[in-house]
Chain A
Amino acid sequence: MSFLNPTLALIALGCVAAPVVIHLLFRRRTRPLEWGAMRFVLEAFRRQRKRMRLEQFLILAARTLAVLLLALAVGRPMFAGESVLQSRTPRDLVLVIDNSLTSQARAGESAELDINKKEALRLLESLDTARGDRAAVITLGGPAEKLAAPLTTELAGVRRAVEAIEPTDSAADLTGGLAAARDLLGRDASRQSALALFSALRRGSVDAAKAADVAESTLRPDLLVSAPATQPLDNIAVVGVEPLRSVLLREANAPETQQARITLARHGPGVNAAATINLRVAAVQASETDAPAWATTAVRFSPGQESASVLAPIGFPKSDAKKQLTPLWIEARVDDDAISSDNVFRKPWKSRETVRVVLAAPSTDSLGGGGSPMSYTAADWVTLALSPRTGGVASALESENETITITSADPTRLSPADLLSADSVFITRPDLLPSDAWGTLADFARKGGLVVVTAPTATGIMHEWPEPLAKSFGLAWTAARETTAAPTARPIRTGPTESRDLVALLAGLSAELEELAKPVVVARWLSAEVRGDAARLLTLDDASPLLLAARPDNSPRGLLVVLLTAPELESTSLPAMPLMVPLFQEIVRQGVGLASGSSTLLAGASVADPSELRRITPAGNAAMGDAARGASMWRRVDARGITRELVAVNADAAASATDVQSQDQIGVSLKAAAQASSVTFLKPSAEGVAAPRDALPVNNRTPPIDLPLLIAGLVLLVLDALLSRWFSHATVGASGAFTNAVAAPRTAAQPTQRGAAA
């Protein structure tokens, strides 16, 4: 037998001795009464002895039993059949276990996830299958996952599920986990439901400062929460890797010059101190078996600095250039700390022998090499910019060993076949494109292609092409249908950096772009009012857009770049200025990489076509599920098994925060998030200590005291009062005033007769 309120029960049971103790205390205080007629007292006692003993026994028994029953009522005994969950009502318990990246933190020998699993198993022991208790398990590593669901009485299976929980590198999906738990609990009024959240509750898992997004519900379960961690830990995470060159081209025969921008973040008490860490960056080839050649960079944090962004050289393996062009990724590492998974960040790096550009422009005489620059069309200038040769445009087109190879296509008959092997398409005469060609171009872009459009600036005509362009690419803006011609050419400026992603298109020119743009003037252009997520890379002096970049349908893949003036000397001085070549080179070299889309995911994100993915690291044949929960490298293959791209899954740095939080803050936040009726923090149990059997709260529908026992105790108290009254013969001599004849003789009732004793 156990007690619901063991402490109260112990105290109350101690009170069972109260009648005897009180009796003994009063016995000790009583003063003897000298009595003359003692022989009659003894005689009366002899006559009444048996009856008096029976009366005393009955009164003592009634009092002791009454106190005992009241003690039991307060203590709420639980008999063998009632098990240990302090309630006769069957219980549903959903164990919500945090296996997010934060749970990998190690404050001692064990990871916090292991501690949480042990605590969860201990609580699981408190359930009783015989009573109909059920349990389920949900993990919080994003996205939240139901490991053992629905609620089941097969507790051994639930236990195995808990033991098999592995850490993830994703952030905790608290909202999803709690919502799933509430769905499991349902609204069965005959059962008592409770959620038990096991987490170290570091800021990376549950940020008490952020309000949880919850759906309103009438279900109000009890929420049990493991004790939050109290030891702050230092943790440094690599949160981003961005190579300066998004595509590694064949010309990079001096790979040691390649750099990447590495972003780091640090958490914990160490933020307040200066620190220097070693950052190692290397290019890793998928087929490479040798250890990566790390390039080490020292990163210095000043006191209070939480994040750092550094340009670090990339270490390349010592192999021939051709081998360098196999699929590879950039890997950045820092030394191990509290959480090891976020110390690595991988970024697939595209490599090309050449960038293939399709130039959709009509053939002109000037391409033959005889014309003057004043007669060069936009296509000519683009050709020269992409493949600058002293021999002019003709030599540029004839070159075979260029990094950028240009292929001509007829814009009036542009078909998907023209774009089969192209990385990029340049449209210098969009007005010549048939209407269906815009759809072809948009499809090309959505598959990861770069489409560059330069606007023809012929005056006196209505341009029809802006509308199908905008419609096909899903743009929220369009260019004007008439050319704007300024009497005086307008200078240009660098655009605002409202879109970091696309601004990276000209990141390689960032240092010189402003200087290069200064001498450029524009005389004709198409005006446009840009809305949406388009990036204005260059503008006129009145901030009207000149060079725009946008994603088709705002998707992460594909890139559309629109120059709202024709790169011809009639319209702008750009072709003759130093900006021309680097501008178009950057558009192609960076644009091809940006257009192919990011193949870097954060753990917990959903993955498109997971069946096409094959894991590279860590080694193994595990298949990708709907979401990638662990940091890993994958290659996407086509139907023939040929690798199309690499996909990196990195730890979610949002879960790297190892700061501790106060119990009060978390309690308020969790109560709101779970819409719980109560939040109870469990006391951490040491090794070898019994399960927290008394942790689960009492069923709200069950009174905390045993009502039948309470009533029985009260009835006995009433009976005791009646017996005491009856046995004491209180109705006889109730006015008795004489208590001690010797010590306090009674005063005469008739003071007026005083003095007449004899």
Chain B
Amino acid sequence: MAIGENNPGATNSGSGTPIDASLYLHPQTLARLATFEMRAKMIVEGLSSGQHRSPYQGFSVEFAQHRPYSPGDDLRHLDWKVFARSDKLHLKQYQQETNLDLIVLVDCSGSMSFGSRSFADASGVGRETSPDGRAHWSKFDHATALAAALSYITLRQGDRVGLEMFDDQVKLVLKRSSGQETWRQIVSALASHPARGTPATQRSSDLRRAIDQTLGQVTNRCIIAIVSDFFMDLSAIRDALARARHAKADIMAFQILDRAEMDFDLRDAAGGVIFQGLEGEAPIRLDPRSIRSAYLAAIEEHNTQLRTLLRGLGYDHTVVNTHDFLGPALAAFVSRRNAQIKRHLA
């Protein structure tokens, strides 16, 4: 695919302002992601029950291309003839008969504008500030990069990708498409959203409502990648996931967290710190050291329950630290997911 090769910038569909996608996704990362495959667990599970068509029918029908072997790939698809000739491992790829639909659901609530990492450190192109003048790398920036990467992988497979952004309601919807401009549209929509660095909305997120609206727009099974900090009530998350489960949608939950939020390692200022909420909470003055243990316990408890909930429903849960690099994390996730699918198939 030509994304990022001959046109490193994406165009903001709304204003026409060129958006430099490399701010969020480095070309080298994109090249590495090119070897990944995005597969749907739910479809595999359907095959095993015998009620749905085989998702691998395309593999045996119509050869498409070779690609280098990567750890975790099914050895059955190795082209031994090529190996015999060139002593290199290549997989044979076939044109699938059924395309994968990926809907990336990005949380743009107020809490996603938080970030403690410098923009220059995270963006990768040497810029000190973001195009809107921020010096810090927010969780929404990281969500943007993650969504762009997922979209890239999926689009490169020829599958369709759609984008929705939500806080207490769905703010933006990009219909699923596998077209040439889809990736740019997705990146532009994310990069130009006002919630990326400033708590413009001061709104909390309503995942249940977002899932409802998403499921209402699709008729086929699809993969829904939720990119959020999941700083919301677990009951609401449980309701939303239950509905997605009922609709037999595959959920990939990417929990974006900032290291400062996880460590809560704040120096005490004399007189305490005034914590100002980003989702309309009233400010409060506290000595951070006096509540650190309770804070860490509360966030750990929340994350544990979230992980338990997601895994209990068979969904993936990946914690992404904004201070970590996205490439290795995403590669590990995809590999792990593919390995799980393989184990199910076996």
Contact = CB atoms under 8 A, between A and B. Distances in A.
B118 A37 contact: no
Contacts of A43: 294-295, 298
Interface stretch (B123-131, B161-169, B170-178): B123-131
Interface stretch (A21-29, A417-425, A671-679): A21-29
Contacts of B29: 756, 758
A41 B286 contact: yes
A40 B279 CA distance: 13
Given A36-B114, A44-B294, A758-B327, A735 B277 contact: no
A33 interface: yes
A26 B286 contact: no
Contact of B267 (A45, A727, A739): A739
Contact of B123 (A728, A741, A753, A757): A757
A733 B327 CA distance: 30
A36 B112 contact: yes
A32 B279 contact: no
Given A38-B111, A38-B275, A753-B325, A748 B118 contact: yes
B265 A733 contact: yes
B286 A45 contact: yes
Contact of A42 (B145, B281, B287, B327): B281
Contact of B276 (A35, A51, A728): A35
A30 B268 CA distance: 11
A318 interface: no
A754 B123 CA distance: 8
Interface residues on A, range: 35 or more
B18 interface: no
A81 interface: no
A108 interface: no
A254 interface: no
B126 A741 contact: no
B231 to A, nearest CB: 6
Contacts of A38: 111, 275-279, 281
Contact of A35 (B272, B277, B292): B277
Given A35-B278, A758-B327, A40 B295 contact: yes
A31 B274 contact: yes
B260 A52 contact: no
Nearest to A29: B271
A736 interface: yes
A47 B298 contact: yes
A36 B113 contact: yes
A640 interface: no
Interface in B20-77: 24-26, 28-29
A741 B260 contact: yes
B218 interface: no
26 contacts: A26-B270, A30-B273, A30-B285, A33-B266, A33-B273, A35-B114, A35-B261, A36-B114, A39-B281, A40-B302, A41-B275, A44-B297, A48-B291, A52-B291, A728-B287, A733-B264, A733-B265, A733-B289, A742-B136, A746-B116, A753-B325, A755-B26, A755-B123, A756-B325, A757-B26, A758-B327
Interface of B: 24-26, 28-29, 110-126, 135-137, 139, 142, 145-146, 148-149, 199, 229, 231, 258, 260-261, 263-279, 281, 283-287, 289-295, 297-299, 302, 323, 325-327
Interface of A: 23, 25-27, 29-45, 47-48, 51-52, 55, 727-730, 732-733, 735-739, 741-742, 745-749, 751, 753-758
State the 9 A-B residue pairs at the shortest beta-carbon distance, nearest first: A36-B114, A26-B271, A748-B121, A38-B277, A755-B124, A745-B136, A44-B294, A757-B122, A758-B145
